[in-house]
Amino acid sequence: MITIPYLTALSTYFSYGLLFAFGQFRDFFRKIFDWWQASNLQGYAPICLGLEDFYIRRLYLRIQDCFGRPIASAPDAWFDVVERYSNDNNKTLKRTEKISRCLNLGSYNYLGFAAADEYCTPRVIDSLNRFSASTCSTRVDGGTTTLHKELEDCVANFVGKPAAVVFGMGYVTNSAILPVIIGKGGLIISDSLNHNSIVNGARGSGATIRVFQHNTPSHLEKVLREQIAEGQPRTHRPWKKIIVVVEGIYSMEGELCKLPEIVTVCKKYKAYVYLDEAHSIGAVGKTGRGVCELLGVDTADVDIMMGTFTKSFGSCGGYIAGSKELIQYLKYTCPAHLYATSISPPAAQQIISSIKVILGEDGSSRGAQKLARIRENSNFFRSELQKMGFEVLGDNDSPVMPIMLYNPAKIPAFSRECLKQNIAVVTVAFPATPLLLARARICISASHTKEDLLKALEVISQVGDLVGIKYFPAEPKKQLQHQEQQPGKDTIKLE
Amino acid sequence: MSPTLSPLQSFNPCNYLAEDLKKNKPRIVMSNNRDDDTLTRVDNSFGRLPDHLLIEIFIRVPVLEWAQIACVKKHWASLFLGESLWHAAIMRTFPSASQAKRWPGPIPRGLSKRRFAALYVSKHIVALDDEIDEIVGHTYLFLKEQLELSTLPPPSGILHGTIIDQFISCGKSRDVAHELASQIWLAVLDNLEENWHTFLVLKRLALEEDVFLPFPYSRSIKVQWRVFEKLFIDFRDCFSHADYYDILGIAKNKFQPIPSACQIILLDVTTSLITIDVQEICTFPVSASVALRVAMESAALNFVNATLNWVTLALDAPAARAVVFGVHISGHLFVEVLLLVVILFLLSQKSYKPPKRPLTKKEIDELCDEWVPESLIPPITEEMQSEPPVLESAAGPHAIVNGKEVVNFASANYLGLIGHEKLLDSCTSALEKYGVGSCGPRQFYGTIDVHLDCEARIANFLGTTDSILYSYGLSTMFSAIPCFCKKGDIIVVDEGVHWGIQNGLYLSRSTIVYFKHNDMESLEKTLEKITAKNQRAKKLRRYIVVEAVYQNSGQIAPLDKIIKLKEKYRFRVLLDESNSIGVLGHTGRGLTEYCRVPIEKIDIVTASLGHALATEGGFCTGSARVVDHQRLSSSGYVFSASLPPYLASAAITAIDVLEQNPDLTSKLKENIAILWKGLSDVQGLSVASNPESPIVFLQLKKSTGSTKGDLQLLEDLANRALEEESVFVVVSKRSTLDKCPLPVGIRMFVSAAHSESDLLKACLSLKKVAAVVLKDHIRP
């Protein structure tokens, strides 16, 4: 868990308090101003209301230039960020023709398949010409091409499950599958930091939702025992089924899921495991097969494996892998399969090709190199950041590493300063994280070279000093401790 | 009052009489006394006297004789009927009686005769010594009349009220009025004739429940008691047994505790009745026991009263003279303090809670061991195993399935843009430049310049200020709806909307009201009901959600009517244009163009790019505020990777192609008309879609009775069409999560790229196949 220094917590609260008070003050005058003008609502209730609207207008708009920066190239290791300007105090941003070439530390391009690839791109263009960009039809109607069949077999094989079904969007995969496999009378036990798509899917299912402390198997066990003993609320009937939903790598924390322990607990209490490998599939594991491979969990113990193709494979869409019956059932009744346009054929081809590269089926060792590269890059970068005294979250081997910023003012400061020096980083704040825990998130890619990383470290260190986010003392001792703590990592490196 | 009275007032009547006698001159005062003349001739000495003298004589005779005098002569009798005699009598007998003409209050004053009677009554019967009060007499007469004369007198409460009103309006104080009223009641009751009518009246009074009387009107117990007393003493022979016990019961209820004096009378009465009953005791065994019970109860009451008296005395005795701070400490104060202490004590006690015994570890272990979950999925049935046909080529108007070329009606490739060269070119260059995926959500470097260009292009095409791209068609609606509709908001929605909308509605947690599919009357009724029922509804956000072309039925929403209703009831409209963008209207700008409604009237428009525009993803457009709000609040936008750039660039090109080739939409229109016409007479099937909808929806004319049966039959038909006739049509399948109540059917997506021969072939084949497959279905 993140332990926020007392003084920092205080100053962060103070900053938000100030922003809030000032925002309210401005709203007060706006209200007076509006009062003089005739209302243009004409009997309708205002379309945007409450704190959400307030947050956007008074807090988000001030720093909106740090988010949604448009790019004008593929999101590779280096990319072209389009410069923007604002004439109205950041309320609206206008694009310019100017671009700046920046080092990309923000995209989920873990394996570097985002850019044109010597193996994938020609095949993708071939499929485009053969199957066109879209089928304009759902999978059950006319949207299943040979490519889709091949993709499903390929994914099932890659993930290590008997069958798989693919969808055109990762978000929809989660939010449309959960309602199919569980409904009223079921229980979903979800990690407290699960992605919004899981939250929405769970809500849409009508099942009861309970949350366990982030990545804490002991608390999961406690919740499971309580819930099984209690049964359904009010009626106390036994639960129909219990599904435990966890993610492979938590994208905002960079932490790896404690899958072995969680699987053991779930097995003991006969709960089904739903693993969302959005960030981990392709990125971790010896052959890129995700956290199961990395942590040595038999895929047979995970009932439903979900993942997306957006990240490591540089494409779009998502999959569900599981038993043959599960997939048959999903194909029969899942709305995303029945009602949504099937995944675009070129995107499907990109996935097939990239999996082939990862598995070395293209006849080269590029896949293995990429995998080794991302692990090395991640671990190097993480340890260097820690040495400098940044508060870095997450586990080793995870390509996602959040740097804690805390204070709201440090969010735009860090982002803008880095961009000035041609480093593009992602900053994340409320509502994606808790209010106090604003952070910058760095995603390492296999396409980053050593020089890129060194440059990035130099800049981040400099900006870190400027902004004041080196919350820990930078001491060489720390590095020693870390190496002692992680003997396993070193042996892997030696291999 | 007659004018003859005026001399009487001015002269002393005695002198006047003497003078008259001296003169001995007959004087005719009244004009209507011809009889009088004849009489005077008969009786010389007395008969000659004029009327006023006769009256003066008569009134000096004692009242009791008057009846006899009236019998002597007709003329004299007529005098007694006249006004002047009685007036003179009043003047003489009650000189202090008021002459005032005003008489307030509800009881009438009446003529002189009645007044005389009233005065007489108040003097002799009510016996008011100090003053002669006319009102009392009138009241007495009034009450007596009411009780005696009318067959069904008004309830005593009303009578009593009237009497008291009378007194109060004559200026008596309330207490005096009450006192007088009860005196009058008693007097009337005492003077009633002892006949059957009186008995009935008294019984009625006795049987009367206490009619509720407002505060000033309360009858004294004396009156009530007199009623019972009279009944039990004077009229006891008139009682039947049943009546007797009824009245006795009422008496007991009314007079608790029975005053001892009355008790004796009561006991007297009962014993006398018992003696009567003894002879009949075999027939009425109850009566005796009731009587005994009465006796015993009164004894018990005595005892209780005595005890209470003793307790009061005992409590009061020790502190009889104690005064603390000016407060007399008496027995009830002790009791009150005691009660207060007890209440405080009870309040201070903890409320009872059953002891909590949490489950022990062992018990939980057992429960966990015993718990058997359902399997993750229900057992796989045969229908779940069916696999859709696999295309070996692009899903254009002609596709290859199982190595055979088929005419494809399964892809919503309305404009035939699948495989369009320009689209392929733009995709290829985008793929080369940007790669396939965007590798990030829009906020985190997932915004590529083509996305912004595409958004601007769409907005420009539709005439809005801005638009927002979603990476998947299905997610557009179910992210956009929860973004604007929150808990408490009201959404009125067509029952036939597709699952994406249904899910969005569910996730929004708003109040959802469905109206009948594409039925504007039903919509209006629903809106009316909501607005009328709920005053608060005006302050909530209200939406109407409709699809332009319904995916589940091929119907087109009458937007002009919806706009009228929307403006009347102040609802916002969310319109899903997934199947109408690029199709409806001459330039393919969708339903707004088709219905000639300016797009600004629609608050939120969503659409999928995966139909006419032959790419993927979806967009939402509307005012700048609507779009900007989604950029941070719409979960499907914020939390999902952005649309692959090549698909966005394809969308831009598709719009360009559409704008450059206006004949595409007209060709599509022609094709729709051809197919519609060709399919209008298929055996067993009917076309349920709108003639201009690009989705031609064929429904079974006669359902098999279940959705599953219909589905099976249609599936069979579609499979045969594909296998035997190479026409690829599909059945509208339903997920178990889909709550759409509309019937299933065969859905054919018409494309501008279909040739006329394709369409005719499809019609022919379907007719052929339908004739075979539906043969058995139609015949019985």
Min Cα separation B364/chain A (Å): 6
Which residues of chain B does A68 touch, with a Cβ-Cβ cutoff of 8 Å? 442-443, 447, 631
Min Cα separation A168/chain B (Å): 7
Q: Which residues contact A484 (CB under 8 A, 6 or more apart)?
A: none
pLDDT tens sequence across B195-210: 878 888 777 777 776 5
Residue A44 has its nearest CB partner, among B395, B503, B572, at B572
Return the beta strands (E) in B471-526 as ranges: 490-494, 511-515
Chain B stretch 447-506, residues whose beta carbon is closer than 8 A to a beta carbon of chain A: 447-449, 451-452, 471-475, 478, 484, 486, 498-500, 503, 506
Percent of chain A with pLDDT strictly greater than 90: 60
3-class SS string, chain A: CCCCCHHHHHHHHHHHHHHHHHHHHHHHHHHHHHHHCCCCCCCCCCCCCHHHHHHHHHHHHHHHHHCCCCECCCCCCEEEEEEEECCCCCCCCEEEEEEEEEEECCCCCCCCCCCCCCCHHHHHHHHHHHHCCCCCCECCCCCCEHHHHHHHHHHHHHHCCCEEEEECCHHHHHHHHHHHHCCCCCEEEEECCCCHHHHHHHHHHCCEEEEECCCCHHHHHHHHHHHHHHCCCCCCCCCCCEEEEEECECCCCCCECCHHHHHHHHHHCCCEEEEECCCCCCCCCCCCCCHHHHHCCCHHHCCEEEEECCCCCCCCCEEEEECHHHHHHHHHHCHHHHHCECCCHHHHHHHHHHHHHHHCCCCCCHHHHHHHHHHHHHHHHHHHHHHHCCCECCCCCCCEEEEEEECCCHHHHHHHHHHHCCEECEEECCCCCCCCCEEEEEECCCCCCHHHHHHHHHHHHHHHHHHCCCCCCCCHHHHHHHHHHCHHHHHHHHC
CB half-sphere exposure, B265, CA atoms < 13 A:
16
Give the closest residue to B617 by CA, choosing from A126, A93, A347.
Answer: A347
Measured between alpha carbons, how far is B562 from B547 in angstroms, rounded to an integer?
11
Q: Are B614 and B646 in contact (CB under 8 A)?
A: no
Cβ distance of B644 and A56 shorter than 8 Å:
no
Q: Mark the ranges of chain A whose per-residue pLDDT is less than 50.
A: 478-481, 483-495
pLDDT tens sequence across A334-385: 999 999 999 999 999 999 999 999 999 988 899 999 999 999 999 999 999 9
Hey, of A134, A209, A265, which one would you mutate to test binding to chain B, going by the most B CBs within 10 A of its CB?
Answer: A134
Which residues of chain B does A181 touch, with a Cβ-Cβ cutoff of 8 Å? 376-377
Which residues of chain A does B735 touch, with a Cβ-Cβ cutoff of 8 Å? 180, 333-335, 338-339
Which residues of chain A does B367 touch, with a Cβ-Cβ cutoff of 8 Å? 228-229
Lowest mean pLDDT among A227-231, A479-483, B461-465, B577-581: A479-483
Instruction: Please report the pLDDT score of residue A429 as a whole number.
Output: 86
Instruction: Please report the pLDDT score of residue B17 as a whole number.
Output: 43
Q: Say if residue B281's pLDDT is above 50.
A: no
Cβ distance of B641 and A128 shorter than 8 Å:
no
ipTM above 0.95, yes or no: no
Q: Are A148 and A412 in contact (CB under 8 A)?
A: no
Q: Say if residue B594's pLDDT is above 70.
A: yes
Cβ distance of A137 and B410 shorter than 8 Å:
yes
Q: Say if residue B27's pLDDT is above 60.
A: no
Cβ distance of A44 and B541 shorter than 8 Å:
yes
Instruction: Please report the pLDDT score of residue B173 as a whole number.
Output: 76
Query: What type of residue is A173?
Result: T
Q: How does residue B580 score in pLDDT terms, banded at 50, 70 and 90?
A: very high
Instruction: Please report the pLDDT score of residue A480 as a whole number.
Output: 46
Instruction: Please report the pLDDT score of residue B16 as a whole number.
Output: 43
Hey, of B439, B530, B567, B630, which one would you mutate to test binding to chain A, going by the most A CBs within 10 A of its CB?
Answer: B439
Chain A stretch 12-71, residues whose beta carbon is closer than 8 A to a beta carbon of chain B: 42-49, 52-53, 56, 60, 67-71
Hey, of B436, B501, B602, which one would you mutate to test binding to chain A, going by the most A CBs within 10 A of its CB?
Answer: B436
Chains A, B: CB contacts within 8 A come to 366
Chain B stretch 628-687, residues whose beta carbon is closer than 8 A to a beta carbon of chain A: 629, 631-633, 635-636, 638-641, 643-644, 646-647, 650
Q: How does residue B387 score in pLDDT terms, banded at 50, 70 and 90?
A: confident
Cα of B680 vs its chain's centroid, Å: 50
Instruction: Please report the pLDDT score of residue A345 as a whole number.
Output: 93
Q: Is the pLDDT higher at B464 or at A494?
A: B464
Q: Say if residue B474's pLDDT is above 80.
A: yes
Hey, of A64, A111, A148, A171, which one would you mutate to test binding to chain B, going by the most B CBs within 10 A of its CB?
Answer: A171
Instruction: Please report the pLDDT score of residue B225 as a whole number.
Output: 77
Which residues of chain A does B428 touch, with a Cβ-Cβ cutoff of 8 Å? 125, 128-129
Residue A134 has its nearest CB partner, among B432, B503, B615, at B615
Q: What is the mean pLDDT of residues B412-440?
A: 91
Hey, of A84, A141, A268, which one would you mutate to test binding to chain B, going by the most B CBs within 10 A of its CB?
Answer: A141
Q: B432 exposed, middle or buried (CB, 10 Å; 0-12, 13-18, 19+)?
A: middle
Q: Say if residue B129's pLDDT is above 70.
A: no
Instruction: Please report the pLDDT score of residue B273 as a whole number.
Output: 52
Q: Is A76 on the interface with B (CB under 8 A)?
A: yes
Tokens of A488: 């396993």
Q: By CA distance, what is B616's nearest residue in A?
A: A134
Q: How does residue B33 score in pLDDT terms, banded at 50, 70 and 90?
A: very low
| Residues paired with residue A17 on neighbouring β-strands, in sequence order | none
Measured between alpha carbons, how far is B85 from B30 in angstroms, rounded to an integer?
13
pLDDT tens sequence across B352-380: 888 888 888 888 888 888 889 999 888 88
Residue A132 has its nearest CB partner, among B419, B431, B445, at B419
Instruction: Please report the pLDDT score of residue B557 as a whole number.
Output: 93
Instruction: Please report the pLDDT score of residue A489 as a whole number.
Output: 42
Cβ distance of B475 and A172 shorter than 8 Å:
yes
Cβ distance of A141 and B424 shorter than 8 Å:
no
Q: Is B582 on the interface with A (CB under 8 A)?
A: no
pTM of model > 0.95: no
Q: By CA distance, what is A206's nearest residue in B?
A: B506
Chain A stretch 129-158, residues whose beta carbon is closer than 8 A to a beta carbon of chain B: 129-137, 139-146, 148-149
Lowest mean pLDDT among A63-77, B36-50, B117-131, B480-494: B36-50
Which residues of chain B does A121 touch, with a Cβ-Cβ cutoff of 8 Å? 431-432, 435
pLDDT tens sequence across B655-695: 999 999 989 999 999 999 999 989 888 888 889 899 999 99
Percent of chain B with pLDDT strictly greater than 90: 28
Instruction: Please report the pLDDT score of residue B100 as a whole number.
Output: 58
pLDDT tens sequence across B138-147: 778 887 877 7
Instruction: Please report the pLDDT score of residue A378 as a whole number.
Output: 93
Q: Is B550 on the interface with A (CB under 8 A)?
A: no
pLDDT tens sequence across B147-156: 777 666 677 7
Instruction: Please report the pLDDT score of residue B564 as a whole number.
Output: 92
Chain A stretch 387-446, residues whose beta carbon is closer than 8 A to a beta carbon of chain B: 424, 426, 432, 441
Cβ distance of A325 and B444 shorter than 8 Å:
no
Strands A318-322 and A163-167: antiparallel
Instruction: Please report the pLDDT score of residue A447 as a whole number.
Output: 92
Q: Are B738 and A335 in contact (CB under 8 A)?
A: yes
Q: By CA distance, what is A203's nearest residue in B?
A: B507
Q: Where are the alpha helices (DSSP H) in B317-382?
A: 331-348, 361-370
Instruction: Please report the pLDDT score of residue B492 as a whole number.
Output: 93
Q: By CA distance, what is A315's nearest residue in B?
A: B437
Lowest mean pLDDT among A484-488, B95-99, B579-583: A484-488
Q: What is the mean pLDDT of residues B603-627?
A: 91
Secondary element (H or E) of residue B525: helix B520-533
Cβ distance of B384 and A329 shorter than 8 Å:
yes
Give the closest residue to B694 by CA, choosing from B770, B774, B754, B777.
Answer: B754
Give the closest residue to B418 by CA, choosing from A149, A189, A345.
Answer: A345
pLDDT tens sequence across A204-260: 898 999 999 999 999 999 999 999 998 998 888 999 999 999 999 998 888 999 999
Instruction: Please report the pLDDT score of residue B7 as a whole number.
Output: 38
Instruction: Please report the pLDDT score of residue A70 as a whole number.
Output: 92
Residue A335 has its nearest CB partner, among B367, B385, B735, at B735
